[in-house]
């Protein structure tokens, strides 16, 4: 599945993205934020765009795209999937 990540805005504490999933049956875009402090803790040295893309691959391995929240901060993934912060490195390295 295609995961298109586009940065839409940035401020001193977070980066905002629009994420589109799909191939022929694209769904409406997702609005995702990434806190800079959180990102540097769980993925030091990794571009936020890569973290978002890897996070969506992580989510899609666990639930259908229709079940993913439409608007969320990347840190909430760990609330639903406690293994997220431990496993995200595998997704960033391409498993």
Give pLDDT tens digits for 22-51.
Answer: 766 666 799 999 999 999 999 999 999 999
- How far CA 59 is from CA of 9, 62, 69, 74, in Å, comes to 23, 5, 10, 11
**Looking at per-residue confidence, does 60 or 95 come out higher?**
60
For residue 86, the model assigns a pLDDT of 96
Q: Taking residues 63-78, report their average pLDDT.
A: 95
Structure letter (DSSP) for residue 28:
P
Band (93; pLDDT cuts 50, 70, 90): very high
Closest CA to 78 of 41, 45, 28: 41
Average pLDDT of the chain, as a whole number: 93
Residue 78 tokens, joined: 């760990």
User: Rounded to two decimals, what is the model's pTM?
Assistant: 0.94
């Amino acid at each position: 599945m295609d995961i298109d990540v586009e940065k839409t805005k940035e401020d001193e504490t977070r980066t905002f993205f629009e994420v589109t999933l799909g191939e022929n049956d694209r769904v409406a875009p997702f609005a995702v934020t990434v806190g800079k402090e959180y990102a540097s803790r769980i993925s030091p040295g990794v571009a936020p765009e890569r973290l978002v893309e890897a996070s969506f691959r992580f989510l899609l391995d666990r639930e259908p795209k229709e079940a993913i929240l439409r608007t969320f901060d990347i840190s909430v993934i760990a609330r639903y999937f406690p293994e997220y912060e431990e496993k995200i490195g595998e997704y960033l390295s391409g498993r």
